[in-house]
Amino acid sequence: MASDTSEAASSTPDLKLQFAPFSSALEAGFWHQLTQKKLNDYRLDESPKSIKGYYYNGDPLGLPTRLTLEFSAFEVDGPTPARCCLATGTLYNTNTLDAFKTTDKKALLEKEAKEIWDAIQSGAALKDPSILCKFILLTFADLKKYHFYYWFCFPALCFPEGIKIIQQPSSLEQVFSAKQITALQEAYAVLCVKRGTTAEPYFLMKYTADTVHMASLEDWDTFITDTKTVTVGVYDPCTLSQHPGWPLRNLLVLLASRWGSTLDTVEVLCFRDQTLQGSRSIQHSVIFQIKLPVIPLNSACPKSVGWEKNPKGAMGPRMVNLSECMDPKRLAESSVDLNLKLMRWRLVPSLDLDKVVSTKCLLLGAGTLGCNVARTLMGWGVRRITFVDNAKISYSNPVRQPLYEFEDCLGGGKAKATAAVDRLTKIFPGVIAEGYNMSIPMPGHPVDFSEATLSQAQKDVELLEKLISEHDVIFLLMDTRESRWLPTVIAASKRKLVVNSALGFDTFVVMRHGLKKPPVSQSVSAGADSSTSCSSASSSSTTPAGSAPSVPASSLFSNIPGHKLGCYFCNDVVAPGDSTRDRTLDQQCTVSRPGLAMIAGALAVELMVSILQHSEGGYAVASSSDDRMNEPPTSLGLVPHQIRGFLSRFDNVLPASMAFDKCTACSPIQLHIVV
């Protein structure tokens, strides 16, 4: 068993006292909590942090003397586990491995040792003896790999010449009678109650053949009447029969410094509550006598030791790789949040990630656009993603629709909506994805009037309404104009934020639909509804949804508030018809440059996030191209109405247009008919 060889170097081992050093025991929960602290609180802050650990004296024989840090280490004021002693510590978490390596360990130790010394000199250590059992933890957390580098230090002030043993350690049962042992046990319990702790680290003791009395260190002057032989007790985590554990060291320095000149022999009781041969008792405690050297009060701080050796026995840091032993799914979850949280550390401190992550997104269309939108949502940490699509995966899809693979095309092709869900789960098991293999009812595509078909169409409409109700943001990502109509109408009536994207060959549009304000008469119920809507509804405008704008629609205006913005159909003079009928092949599928859908899909999500970060959400005034020079309305930038992109010119413009009061999809007349 390792012992403190620095003490042993200049003396005969059997005459000088040796201490069993602490082994640091850092549980996975500690590292998990450190990860959270680093991501959410510390971020780039490298200043020292107070943490705590504890030690226990009930271990069976053979276990090393451990100082344990678990998830609770960061709650310094939190409770200490039963029958454990608190150890207070200082965490130095560096931002880089390099800083970790180059930190001046000697200086850290000396600083901490000086504090202990000062507390001994001032008497503060008498009032709070846990100061005598401090530690330093130097860490670097590589949160990308879940590699944690660390180095522990348990500062101990030294006696340059060591401590002479007068009477070798014996088991308590060899020295004390059963009656004395019982009395000792009771006295300790009384002391703990008196001190309000479950385990008192140090105590003073007097005993006779029948009685045992205990007092805390601060009661020295009244309690110790005979200084010829003073008995002190230490709550000892060590299990070795011939050695005390580390906590005794600084206590002995305290005694030597404060009362050394008056002391002749010091008797030490290593109070242990071990389990031996199946029975638990303090009879296995160890008792011995020493002769303490004198350390003059107000002398310089003694030399100190304490950096822990690594498992190879050398002075050096340790590394724990938790990527393998942590639950992979939980690992994935926290890893996914990492990049997002990193954004806030330095770049966008005001970013409200929860607002993004908790947004429930409904993707109508799981094709080229739908796949790219879903992937970008995953990148933003969005957990609730629902797909609606009635198509099957064909052989041409996987190279352009990044949720599908060749195998999904076999046997006629899997349904896109459900295959997309499977893929999201494979990418990130923490996602909550759903898929509905259904078609979106379209005007101009008459159903045949058989009862079964009519009933199915009705069911489809009802399900679509339900889905739109249950989500916060509705993405329109279909490949036909008219399939966007019904969702536009329903989402407008339910005041849901709609983000719409459509592709040409090398052009695209990404737009938000105007977000209608609740009618004044319904403001109470609408208020209740707003918790599920994407807008924080703090706009002061009171224009009811029904008020027709007095200016012509479809023109470019600046400063259009969100509730007056147009929808996809506002610029149209014709109602949506059947655009798939009689389309040639290059019209049937969206023939577009392959990069276009990735760009439009990414922008659709980025637009959504920018809107969510705006204090007025979907009611935010639309930014236009002209606003590019001005102060942006959110920390993420502009919140345009439309982004129209031209790949051939690598250019985007940001038009904004007013809602058309006779729009076939979003006008109050239309909504009145439909709702």
Which sequence positions are flagged as catalytic? 589
- What are the residues facing 556 on neighbouring strands? none
Task: Fill in the DSSP letter of residue 39.
Answer: I
SS (H, E, C) 562-584: HHHECCCCCCCCCCCCCCCCCCC
Nearer to a copy of itself, 253 or 377 (CB): 377
- The radius of gyration of the chain from alpha carbons, rounded to an integer in Å, stands at 36
Contact predicate 467/473, CB 8 Å: no
Inter-residue contact 486 to 474 (CB < 8 Å): no
Which CB sits closer to a copy of itself, 49 or 400? 400
Place of tokens 């040639």: 584
Q: Which is nearer to a copy of itself, 207 or 345 (by Cβ)?
A: 345
Nearer Cβ to a copy of itself (132/647): 647
Residue 352 or 405: the one with the smaller Cβ distance to a copy of itself is 405
Residue (32 or 272) nearer to a copy of itself, CB: 32
Do 658 and 549 touch, CB atoms closer than 8 A?
yes
- The pair of structure tokens assigned to 139 is 């860490």
**Judged by CB, which is closer to a copy of itself: 397, or 493?**
397
Instruction: Find out whether 618 and 632 touch, Cβ atoms under 8 Å.
Output: no
Write down the number of H helices and E strands in the chain: 19, 24
Would you put residue 411 in left (φ > 0), alpha (ψ -120 to 50) or beta? left
Name the minimum Å distance from CB 379 to a copy of itself.
3
DSSP secondary structure code for residue 554 in this structure: T
Min CB(447)–a copy of itself separation in Å = 18
**Beta carbons within 10 angstroms of residue 277's beta carbon:** 8
User: Closest approach of Cβ 107 to a copy of itself, in Å?
Assistant: 19
- Residue whose CB is less far from a copy of itself, 404 or 436: 404
**Nearest approach, Cβ of 663 to a copy of itself (angstroms)?**
25
Helix (H, G, I), strand (E, B) or coil at 454: helix
Assigned token pair, 660: 């058309």
Q: Is 70 helix (H, G, I), strand (E, B) or coil?
A: coil
Residue 28 CB-density burial (10 A; 0-12 exposed, 13-18 middle, 19+ buried): middle
Spatial distance between the Cα atoms of 125 and 194, rounded to a whole number of angstroms: 18
CB atoms within 10 A of CB 383: 18
476 and 499 Cβ atoms separated by less than 8 Å: yes
Tokens of 648: 């051939």
Residue 501: which residues within 8 A CB-CB, separation 6 or more?
A: 369, 373, 475, 476, 477, 508, 509, 510, 511, 600, 601, 603, 604
Residue 143 Cβ vs a copy of itself, minimum distance, rounded to whole Å: 6
* Tokens representing residue 312 in the block: 């190879």
Amino acid at 470: E
CA geometry: angle at 149 spanning 147 and 154, to 5°? 145
Instruction: Transcribe 133-167 into DSSP letters.
Output: SEEEEEEEEETTTTEEEEEEEEEEE--TT--EEEE
* CB nearer to a copy of itself: pick between 208 and 584: 584
Structure-token match 């000088």, residue found: 16
User: Which residue lies nearer to a copy of itself by CB, 577 or 595?
Assistant: 595
Q: Looking only at Cα atoms, what is the longest distance across the chain? A: 110
Distance in angstroms between the alpha carbons of the first and the last residue of the chain: 80
